Amino acid sequence: MGNEDRIRILHMIDAAVEALSFIDDVDKKIFSQSRILILSVIKDIEIIGEAASKISEETKLLYSEIPWKDIVGMRNRLIHGYFDVNINLVWNTTKNNLPPLIKSLKEIITKENE
């Protein structure tokens, strides 16, 4: 894996960790009523998707267990459908999908550092 891909994966990890930290002590109701929290989490998901879109095809093939296309698709949906964002989807993605993504991305970094 090239250094640019490594840096992008680290950016993905950082943004995912940050998104989770924003809602760490927050329930879904509070989240759905806080425009600041919603926009902050959405921005981090957009960063994750943008970084994923720049990962080389070689790395995507090597680590095909990562749902690269879905990650980029989520980013595109948030960017282009900003007026029609499904808050439940953002919440569920953050709570349910980001923790295993962080774990998988950290494993990639560890493997590549060996």
What are the catalytic residues?
Answer: 75, 80
Long-range contacts of 97-103 (CB under 8 A, 24+ apart): 98/16, 98/19, 98/20, 99/20, 101/12, 101/16, 101/48, 101/66, 101/71, 102/13, 102/16, 102/17, 102/20
Distance, CA of 78 to CA of 106 (rounded, Å): 25
Dihedral pair phi/psi, residue 24, rounded to 5°:
-55, -45
